[in-house]
Chains A and B, each alone.
Chain A
Amino acid sequence: MIETRKSTNFFRLGLRRLLFLVCLGLGGVLASATLVRFAPGYGAEERELDPRWRADSVEALRQKQGLHRGLPSFYFHYLSALAHGDLGESDSLKRPVGELLRRRLPVTGNSVIRGLGVAWLAAAGLASLGLVTRGWWFEASTTAFNSLLLSLPSAVVAMLAVHLRTPVFCAIAVVVFPRLYGYIRNLLVRSYHQPHVLAARARGLGSSAILLRHVLPLAAPPLLALFGVSFAISFGAAIPIEALCDSPGLGQLAWQAALSRDLPLIVNVTLVVSLVMLAANSLADLAGRAFAGSTQ
């Protein structure tokens, strides 16, 4: 009885979260639409400077641009089209936004997942290695390396990636790794100093056995939460990196959209990015809670 109540509670919580998330996403969309609409340069295009156009053609261009002039009507049309699954057409690229997102999202998703994988492997590996070896030089050198990576501006990392022609996911991994490493190491060290782990150590258990049997289960819930957060971090990092590396993903699309004041495109990219990031954060939160419940 108690079990089922707990699970329905959990389900309710999840549902409420989802609703909240959708509201936030839509709020973000409306806010960014307002921002774009009132940004200087909305509706101004580079081609207006082309002297070959005649005055009436320029006027026709401006008329076409003026379609989104009324913001309330844009909101209304956007939301009603969204309800039908239609994301509209990009002003600058003259293609359906849905198609653009479908093409770009996998590219970004791919680099984020690979980058995250590499960063996690490296961070978790190094952290547990540090725990097992417990040598001071290892500690010092990893700390120094880590803080060096933390101190590199991500734009410099992206420039390096461009120069070395490494794929975008490497740059993402380099940006995410030091942030993960610090957290993971702290977690493991804290778990390592728990009384029962100390007792196990006193019993003379091997260090890898301690790590696997005692430390990891203890650190698992926060690690799981960290996974969600790290997803959000790497997604956030991917945007400027892609813009700089000119990788055909969401980041590049967002940057182009911003530079050309492409209202439908910016709004939808914002929607996708915010939903992904918020969802990752909430999932992390929920997972943390679920684990906390089950271990208690």
Chain B
Amino acid sequence: MIRRVWFVLALNLAFCWPALVSAQAPGQSGGELHFCLRAEPKTFNPLLVEEDASETIRYLTGGVLIRLNRQTQALEPGLAVSWKVSEEGRKISFRLRSGLHFSDGTPFTSEDVAYTMKALMDPQLHSPTGDSFRSGDGQVVVQTPSSDSVVVTFPAPVAGLERLFDQVAVLSAHSPKKETAVLGPFYVADYSPGSYILLRRNANYWKKDKEGKSLPYLDSVRLDFQRNRDIELLRFRRGEIHLINTLDADYFDRLQKETPAAVHDAGPGLDSEFLWFNQVSSAPLPENKKTWFRTTEFRKAISMAINRADLSRIVFGGHAHPAFGPVSPANHFWFNSSLPIPQYDSAGALRLLAQAGFRLQGGTLRDSSGNRVEFTVITNSGNKSREQMVAMIQQDLSQIGIKANLVTLDFPSLIERITRTYDYEACLLGLVNTDLDPNSQMNVWLSSAENHQWNPKQSKPATAWEAELDRLMQAQSSATTEKKRKSDFDKVQQIVADQQPFIYLVNKDAMSAISPVIRGSSPSVLDPHAFWNADVLRLGPDPALGAQK
């Protein structure tokens, strides 16, 4: 252990000697946090991050101007001591912390922020982080009046502007080490493709604890690539890894039986699972099926006939909650609490269907021209809980005389069907929501957007309610006050509940497993659930670990 500390010291000496003096406080708590990534990160460039694994690396290594506290859902100062949004969300000015250094010792100034923003807003870059800032055509202007202040001006108002900076890790404009010079709590020290990434403590990290000790406490974080969740669970059980950031319901129950102290259910998370019918007019489907799918009563009846409580209880072992609509109740501010609670009512569903001309004959439902109501639900293969959900929905729908089939497809084939050929009838998928702000769902609700899954890329809205959705989404994004935005987005949620273009099924709980060895953890609903406060985590005494030393 002592050898390792010396090694770290030597490394720090080699890499960042200008800022060395204050960093290495005596009595460093130390230790190596060990957990698994489920895929290999595709990039180490924080601006290009688009998947979970890279996101994790960015979160642990990147320094951001403003940090969203994953627990309180409030914004906290990061590299910026203070900030101010003006001109109706078109302009933001930051005051930066002074005297900071990157992990390689390069000093941090406003130039770095300007460099980062320019690189991020380059139209050739194409990254989700940059795209979320893009509200209108035109140049983004970045000014640096002094070395500790930055002013960024956007061509059009950006809704929820300051929150977006939580995703922007500041790059160094001058460091020869490019994106490996970081301002976050850790830096990438070693990367072995196909097996692991080793992050080491960034001695130049700006944050200090209450006693003035510099953070992070940990010496290093080792991330192994491990796609197989069974193996991940086994390794956790054996104490080889310290945490599992997202835990599935059945794994949760298994672990709970053995070590109840290790598992945490933070309540309903932001992720939702939903089902939708294909309403694309050019879809290669029989006309009668297209008519069903476009009938509001039909969709509402399906929604009513699905027993969401059973889904949560059986498929997710109680670690999920019936979903109301596009916003999870976990999103405190944006959730519309006046939405009706989804009720299971197959008799009501039949009444609705009768209004739309469907009738139940000898146990099978037929439409007005006598066709049997039958459709196929597709979902991605290898996802057990989705397969189980469809199996349960099959039984629920058979109660009202509808025959539902299940076909699982591998992801690329599924995506081709739902985004290109539109050759499918219904699809069950989940949406991973990382952002609280409704602006991130713009591409879902605008009828002209790609991710308007039930009928994407319309030249003009096919229905009145979709036109209204367009109007409301545009209105909320340009509204100046949060209150107005909220009331607009509440209406969006209401329309979605009335029309059921997406039939929301459940919100899965945010579950994680954290070894009792870890001190200072407080699992949150927002991702990263288990290590959002990685800089204050430390390894406590553990008999097993002690023996190893």
Residue positions of A touching B, CB distance < 8 A: 39-58, 60-61, 93-95, 99-100, 103-104, 162-163, 165, 244-246, 248, 252, 259-261
B436-448 Cβ-contact flags toward A at 8 Å (1 or 0): 0000111110000
Known contacts A162-B228, A245-B228; A49 and B415 CB within 8 A of each other: yes
Cα A246 to Cα B225 with chains together (Å): 10
Query: Which residue of chain B is the closest to A58 with respect to CB atoms?
Result: B450
Query: Which residue of chain A is the closest to B380 with respect to CB atoms?
Result: A46
Cα A169 to Cα B194 with chains together (Å): 18
Q: Count chain B CB atoms within 10 A of each CB in A47, A244, A246 and give the residue with the most.
A: A246
Q: Which of A42, A50, A95, A99 contacts B128 (CB 8 A)?
A: A50
Contacts of B413 in A (CB 8 A): 39-41, 44
Cα A45 to Cα B429 with chains together (Å): 15
- CB contacts between A and B, total, < 8 Å: 109
**What's the minimum C-beta distance from A26 to chain B, rounded to whole angstroms?**
26
B231–A162 CB distance below 8 A: yes
B234 within 8 A of A: yes
What are 6 inter-chain pairs, A to B, with CB distance below 8 A? A43-B416, A48-B419, A51-B441, A100-B193, A259-B411, A260-B412
Contacts of A261 in B (CB 8 A): 412
**What's the minimum C-beta distance from A65 to chain B, rounded to whole angstroms?**
11
Cα A95 to Cα B191 with chains together (Å): 14
**What's the minimum C-beta distance from B332 to chain A, rounded to whole angstroms?**
21
Contacts of B51 in A (CB 8 A): 47
A44–B450 CB distance below 8 A: no
B40 within 8 A of A: yes
Cα A178 to Cα B419 with chains together (Å): 48
Q: Which of B193, B228, B409, B443 contacts A246 (CB 8 A)?
A: B228
B450–A52 CB distance below 8 A: no
Cα A100 to Cα B238 with chains together (Å): 30
Cα A54 to Cα B443 with chains together (Å): 7
Cα A99 to Cα B192 with chains together (Å): 12
Cα A50 to Cα B54 with chains together (Å): 15
Query: Which residue of chain A is the closest to B127 with respect to CB atoms?
Result: A57
Q: Which of B40, B194, B443 contacts A53 (CB 8 A)?
A: B443
Q: Which of A41, A55, A57, A246 contacts B410 (CB 8 A)?
A: A41
B105-142 Cβ-contact flags toward A at 8 Å (1 or 0): 00000000000000000000011110110100000000
B126–A57 CB distance below 8 A: yes
A51–B126 CB distance below 8 A: no
Known contacts A46-B411, A51-B443, A53-B128; A104 and B194 CB within 8 A of each other: yes
Known contacts A61-B126, A94-B43, A162-B234; A41 and B411 CB within 8 A of each other: yes
Contacts of B451 in A (CB 8 A): 49-51
B542 within 8 A of A: no
Q: Which of A39, A53, A163, A260 contacts B131 (CB 8 A)?
A: A53
B50 within 8 A of A: yes
B131–A57 CB distance below 8 A: yes
Contacts of B126 in A (CB 8 A): 56-57, 60-61
A248–B194 CB distance below 8 A: yes
**What's the minimum C-beta distance from A253 to chain B, rounded to whole angstroms?**
8
Number of interface residues of B (CB under 8 A): 45
Cα A213 to Cα B234 with chains together (Å): 50
Contacts of A95 in B (CB 8 A): 193
A51–B415 CB distance below 8 A: no
B416–A41 CB distance below 8 A: yes
Query: Which residue of chain A is the closest to B129 with respect to CB atoms?
Result: A52
**What's the minimum C-beta distance from A111 to chain B, rounded to whole angstroms?**
14
Query: Which residue of chain B is the closest to A246 with respect to CB atoms?
Result: B228
Cα A103 to Cα B443 with chains together (Å): 40
A165–B234 CB distance below 8 A: yes
Q: Which of A40, A55, A61, A93 contacts B449 (CB 8 A)?
A: A55
B228–A51 CB distance below 8 A: no
**What's the minimum C-beta distance from B446 to chain A, rounded to whole angstroms?**
10
Known contacts A52-B443, A162-B230, A162-B231; A41 and B412 CB within 8 A of each other: yes
B440–A40 CB distance below 8 A: no
**What's the minimum C-beta distance from A28 to chain B, rounded to whole angstroms?**
22
Cα A51 to Cα B429 with chains together (Å): 14
By Cβ-Cβ distance, the 5 closest A-B pairs, closest first, are: A41-B412, A52-B128, A41-B413, A44-B415, A246-B228
Q: Which of A39, A45, A51, A100 contacts B440 (CB 8 A)?
A: A51
B483 within 8 A of A: no
**What's the minimum C-beta distance from B294 to chain A, rounded to whole angstroms?**
23
B257 within 8 A of A: no
Cα A233 to Cα B126 with chains together (Å): 46
Cα A84 to Cα B89 with chains together (Å): 55
Contacts of A163 in B (CB 8 A): 230, 234
Cα A162 to Cα B233 with chains together (Å): 11
B195 within 8 A of A: yes
B217-252 Cβ-contact flags toward A at 8 Å (1 or 0): 000000001111011001000100000000000000
B420 within 8 A of A: yes
B84 within 8 A of A: no
A94–B441 CB distance below 8 A: no
B412–A40 CB distance below 8 A: yes
B414 within 8 A of A: yes
B450–A45 CB distance below 8 A: no
Cα A3 to Cα B354 with chains together (Å): 92
B227–A44 CB distance below 8 A: no
**What's the minimum C-beta distance from A137 to chain B, rounded to whole angstroms?**
38
B42 within 8 A of A: yes
Query: Which residue of chain B is the closest to A42 with respect to CB atoms?
Result: B412
Contacts of B42 in A (CB 8 A): 93-94
Known contacts A51-B443, A246-B227; A259 and B415 CB within 8 A of each other: no
Cα A47 to Cα B226 with chains together (Å): 20
Given A41-B411, A45-B412, 12 additional A-B pairs, CB 8 A: A39-B412, A46-B412, A49-B415, A51-B441, A54-B443, A55-B450, A57-B128, A58-B450, A93-B42, A100-B193, A100-B194, A252-B227
Known contacts A40-B416, A41-B416, A104-B194; A52 and B411 CB within 8 A of each other: no
Contacts of A55 in B (CB 8 A): 443, 449-450
Contacts of A43 in B (CB 8 A): 416
Cα A165 to Cα B232 with chains together (Å): 11
Contacts of B414 in A (CB 8 A): 41
Query: Which residue of chain A is the closest to B226 with respect to CB atoms?
Result: A246
Cα A45 to Cα B414 with chains together (Å): 10
